Structure 1
Amino acid sequence: MRYVVVCGEDVGGAPVPPSAFPGEQPLFVVRHPRERARLERQGAQVVVGDLDREAVYRRAFRSGKEPVLVAVPGCREATVVKTIRRVAPAAPLFVLADDGVNGRTPGVTRISRTELVARVLAPAIARAATRGRVDRVRKHFARAEHVLLMLQDDPDPDAIASALALRVLLGRTRASAPIATFGGIGRAENRAMTRLLEIEVERIPARDVLAYDMVAMVDVQPSFFEERVFSAVDLVIDHHPETVPVRAGLKDIRPSYGATSTILTEYLRAADVKIAPRLATALLYGIKSDTQDLERGATRADVEAFAFLHGLSNHAVLRRIERPELPERAVDLLAQAISRRRLVNGSVFAHLGAVEYPELVAQFADLFLQIHGGEWAVISGVVAGDLHISVRSAGQGRAAGDVVRRAFGALGSAGGHRSMAKAVVPMRTWRARVGHMSAERLRDAIASRFQRAIRSWSHSSAQRSVGSRTLRSWKHSTAARSSVSGTLRTS
């Protein structure tokens, strides 16, 4: 398809170079021979003539349906557009308008020069800045023989994918830049991810950190670790807020982003790195999992990275990751939990008994939220002497973290987000404060505490709502009295 570009000399020549157009070389329509000479030196096809006369456009169009970009001064825009319309009424028209000039010509798409800069130039500048950041990172690590890519304990898909992306960006191998954690990988989906995408995450003791020339952290910060072995960190890339100032040679921390995988995707694109399906699948899953399919905390950057990676990913592998295999023991636990579940006032409760890893409790909480009539899912299990309680909420405006803190915060650690939360209570604390009990009685005790916490939370929420309405009413009446008072004073 050929484009027709109409440009007046008062706008500084061609608004875009000939090479910027896809497909066939565009044809430029200009008013003066000097503009033709300049464009022809760039290899462009040019027609010269009076932009207000039909004759020049009859020479320019072949079919009369070619897209047209018009870039002329605002005072001449209407005349030029009308002239083109008489010659090519079916041609799509795009007008590069002066700032502050608002036209409403039917069938014409308009964009201001400021908007063009924001859409085209600003992203290009941001990409150039990212390329500069990538160059600094590469230069910093170039002299290191062995680099440790450090993840948090029990790393999630966003962390694992980001570490793999950083290794690719640095041009490193598994031997020269291992991915490591102080803890294991618990959740079934995360283990499936590392297995199916062949990403080796090593579990190392804290003392091994000292054996590496440099350390880079992704999706985590030095202050998140209990181990005090990170006296010097070379790089931190993360999307979590800084709880304490991060001390690192280089750092890129963006709390507004929904996933660290998005930051690494921008790095790879800026550096023109070819992203293989394995890496694309990992990064896509990292963004999906951390933003809950772009529904939680996702920004435009996350959406753009997601869209870019979507076409490069292996979706068959992604489906297998998201639906991991359950070991036979887990299936038995699930069957037991289903048979012993209890639905109370819209909340589903089940206790799994002894569980090998805590992520299974969270996985079953997601599953039990699908039970008809359940607005809450509260699933518990005992892992290595600790009672793990995972909570999920399906309703709008819920505050799972607040409810869990009210129910179990006095017994152990408790908290979370609006739709998901967890509590971990040492069993010795539970027995000392609540008592020894069977699995069924334990489930019922959890249900009782949780129901009281919901009522408490609902009551306080209602009071806040009433208080907010009262405040708005008071402000309204105060403003009304002020208005009447002002009227009386001026009468």
Structure 2
Amino acid sequence: MVSRLVLGCGAVGQRLIEKIASRDGDLEVICGDRDRVETLRNDNVRAKHADPADPDIAREAAPTTVDVVVVAGDDAERNVRLARQAAAAFPDAFRMAYTGVEPTDDQRAALGEAVHRVVDPGSATAAYLTDLVASEEGVQARRLRRTLRRIDGTLAVIMHDNPDPDAIASAVALSRIADTVGLDAVACYYGDISHQENRALVNLLDLDLRQLGPDDDLNAFDGFALVDHSRPGVNDQLPEDTPTDVVIDHHPPRAPVEARFVDLRSDVGATSTLMTGYLDQFGLEIDRTVATALLYGVRIDTADFSREVSAADFDAAALLLPHVDTGVLERVESPSVSTDTLETVGNAVRNREVREDVLCSCVGEIGDRDALAQAADRLLDMDGIHTTVVYGHADGVIYLSARSRGSDLDLGETLRSAYDQIGSAGGHADMAGAQIPLGVIGEVEGDERLDRVVRDVVTDRFFDAVQDTRLDRPASFSTETGSFEFPFAAADPDAPGDSGA
């Protein structure tokens, strides 16, 4: 339960108290204006007539644990004194201060040093203040702040393996937030960033990311945060028993998630949307680098606001857009195509097998797993094709990437039906991926024979699943689908689309 303490009560403060009095949690008001105190008491608000500048009175009247302190008087100089007192008495609480009427620049600066959020008269509407101190998002932001403050040392912000733009941007944003509370944070990932657009994003924005390997000593970190995935050891290479401090993700989990702070919201289209909200709640100025990365993350995970998009995604975009470097975005979206990708696309075209509007193609051994996603995207442009699956093998694993446009198939469900018994699969209705250990095929001699056996296993299972899905589909079936947690290790590693799908 949230506990709130209000010090001072001018006209703005009274409107705020009226708004939040009905919210869950404790509320205590200390005010030197007897008439205002009587008015609040008549509204069943716990109010004490006393000098809020007296630290002993504030501590005595406050709840056992104070989560939020609001300085809400009308006098600017007095608010500065109250804010400093609150910082000394309640260092772990989220502190917000109203500037008061006609504050000087020095008074604004002094408030900024003592509290987390300064509100000036122009923005001090009751609805705005209530959102900061009493909304669910405000409560979550304060819980995140407390969790970060309690980490002593260095925080590793872990993306999922072979991270996509949403994971990259979210990790960078959380690292910036950690920095504002005095916590050293490092955005980390296992695997590779091989997709041309993803590499361009990192290089053009000069993002500071650390690539981890299996032999890296995790004891160098004192805390762990997961972004765009929710469990250690699932789509990252952390040990499964890694104690986790923070989890922020937009995929619904398939198992219980354990961490000191958990924010799982599958009703938004991107984790970048959630991180934009936290930057706003923390009152942080969003710089060009973070804004550009976050907007790209939202756009990619929602397929340019056309897939599983929510009002929150549009709100995030509107907040980010004024700070975005559109020139960088244009360059990110027009990277050069690698030789590996061109070769993979060519092999996919040559080896394609088409049944009705569905294309499946084996490209053999691959050097760049990301090229599968780009090949699947490009083959969708072939006349009469609505669904594509492109797959190849590397390092003892078969990797599949699937895309669909205007089809009646749910690709995530279809791939799970085809491959869950021999591997892992998942994704969205129009974008999915899978991976299958080559070991399920058994011993095979020669690359040519291996490719043939792989085709027999993968292609036949896929077309059988497509047929079963269409035969089982009732006439009233809806193709709408929710988002899925990416449940496997980089099946379609780092397409600019959803995490590996």
Q: Is the pair's TM-score, using the shorter chain for normalization, greater than 0.5?
A: yes
Q: Does 1:450 align with 2:462?
A: yes
Which residue does the alignment assign to 1:222?
231
2:130 partner letter: I
CA contact (8 A) 1:397 1:418 kept: no
Quote the offset at 1:283 in angstroms. Answer: 0.4
Quote the offset at 1:438 in angstroms. Answer: 6.7
2:229 partner letter: V
Which residue does the alignment assign to 1:259?
270
CA contact (8 A) 1:378 1:390 kept: yes
How many residues are paired up? Answer: 348
The superposition leaves residues 328-360 of structure 1 with CA deviations (integer Å, 9 ceiling, x where unpaired) of 233233234334444432222332222113221
Instruction: Give the secondary-structure state (helix, strand or coil) at the position aligned to 1:171.
Output: helix
Question: Which structure carries more helix by proportion?
Answer: 1
Which residue does the alignment assign to 1:298?
309
Unaligned runs of 5+ in 1: 1-15, 17-119, 469-491
Change (3 A) 1:196 1:348: same
Q: Does 1:465 align with 2:470?
A: no
CA contact (8 A) 1:234 1:250 kept: yes
Change (3 A) 1:371 1:146: same
Change (3 A) 1:174 1:376: farther
Q: Does 1:316 align with 2:321?
A: no
TM-score of the aligned structures, taking structure 1 as reference length: 0.62
Q: Distance in 1 between matches of 2:477 and 2:231?
A: 42
Instruction: Give the secondary-structure state (helix, strand or coil) at the position aligned to 1:357.
Output: coil
1:215 partner letter: F
Quote the offset at 1:416 in angstroms. Answer: 3.0
Change (3 A) 1:423 1:148: closer
Which residue does the alignment assign to 1:190?
198
Q: Distance in 2 between matches of 1:448 and 1:140?
A: 50
Which residue does the alignment assign to 1:246?
257
CA contact (8 A) 1:188 1:360 kept: no
CA contact (8 A) 2:178 2:185 kept: no
Change (3 A) 1:286 1:121: farther
2:469 partner letter: W
| 2:169 pairs with one of 139, 148, 161 | 161
Quote the offset at 1:299 in angstroms. Answer: 1.6
Quote the offset at 1:284 in angstroms. Answer: 0.4
Instruction: Give the secondary-structure state (helix, strand or coil) at the position aligned to 1:317.
Output: helix
Instruction: Give the secondary-structure state (helix, strand or coil) at the position aligned to 2:274.
Output: helix
Which residue does the alignment assign to 1:177?
185
Change (3 A) 1:211 1:137: same
1:329 partner letter: D
1:27-426 paired onto structure 2 within 5 Å: 124-128=129-133, 129=135, 130-131=137-138, 133-142=140-149, 144-171=152-179, 176-205=184-213, 208-223=217-232, 224=234, 227-228=238-239, 230-426=241-437
TM-score of the aligned structures, taking structure 2 as reference length: 0.61
Unaligned runs of 5+ in 2: 1-14, 16-124, 479-501
The superposition leaves residues 307-331 of structure 1 with CA deviations (integer Å, 9 ceiling, x where unpaired) of 2212321222223323432222332
The superposition leaves residues 20-77 of structure 1 with CA deviations (integer Å, 9 ceiling, x where unpaired) of xxxxxxxxxxxxxxxxxxxxxxxxxxxxxxxxxxxxxxxxxxxxxxxxxxxxxxxxxx
CA contact (8 A) 1:153 1:182 kept: yes
Instruction: Give the secondary-structure state (helix, strand or coil) at the position aligned to 2:329.
Output: helix
Q: Distance in 1 between matches of 2:139 and 2:422?
A: 50
Quote the offset at 1:396 in angstroms. Answer: 4.2
CA contact (8 A) 2:416 2:426 kept: yes
Q: Distance in 2 between matches of 1:411 and 1:397?
A: 25
1:151 partner letter: M
Instruction: Give the secondary-structure state (helix, strand or coil) at the position aligned to 2:373.
Output: helix
CA contact (8 A) 1:411 1:430 kept: no
Quote the offset at 1:267 in angstroms. Answer: 1.6
1:345 partner letter: E
The superposition leaves residues 76-103 of structure 1 with CA deviations (integer Å, 9 ceiling, x where unpaired) of xxxxxxxxxxxxxxxxxxxxxxxxxxxx
Bigger CA radius of gyration: 1
Quote the offset at 1:123 in angstroms. Answer: 6.0
1:125 partner letter: T
Change (3 A) 1:145 1:432: closer
1:312 partner letter: H
The superposition leaves residues 406-464 of structure 1 with CA deviations (integer Å, 9 ceiling, x where unpaired) of 4344433233321122232233423569x973757855764444333322211111xx3
Task: Percent identity, please.
Answer: 31
Q: Distance in 1 between matches of 2:476 and 2:248?
A: 43
Instruction: Give the secondary-structure state (helix, strand or coil) at the position aligned to 2:185.
Output: coil
Q: Distance in 2 between matches of 1:231 and 1:385?
A: 27
1:126 partner letter: D
Instruction: Give the secondary-structure state (helix, strand or coil) at the position aligned to 2:332.
Output: helix
CA contact (8 A) 1:265 1:283 kept: yes
What root-mean-square deviation, in Å, do the aligned CA atoms of Structure 1 and Structure 2 show? 3.4
The superposition leaves residues 240-278 of structure 1 with CA deviations (integer Å, 9 ceiling, x where unpaired) of 234343332333222222222112111212233221221
Segment of structure 1 superposing worse, 296-305 or 447-456: 447-456
Q: Distance in 2 between matches of 1:231 and 1:352?
A: 37
Taking CA–CA contacts closer than 8 Å with sequence separation of 6 or more, which of the two structures ends up with the larger relative contact order?
2
CA contact (8 A) 1:259 1:287 kept: yes
1:162 partner letter: S
CA contact (8 A) 2:149 2:181 kept: no
CA contact (8 A) 2:132 2:281 kept: yes
Change (3 A) 1:368 1:122: farther
Instruction: Give the secondary-structure state (helix, strand or coil) at the position aligned to 1:237.
Output: strand
Quote the offset at 1:280 in angstroms. Answer: 0.7
1:146 partner letter: T
Q: Distance in 1 between matches of 2:324 and 2:398?
A: 38
CA contact (8 A) 1:185 1:191 kept: yes
1:141 partner letter: L
CA contact (8 A) 1:404 1:422 kept: yes
Instruction: Give the secondary-structure state (helix, strand or coil) at the position aligned to 1:351.
Output: strand
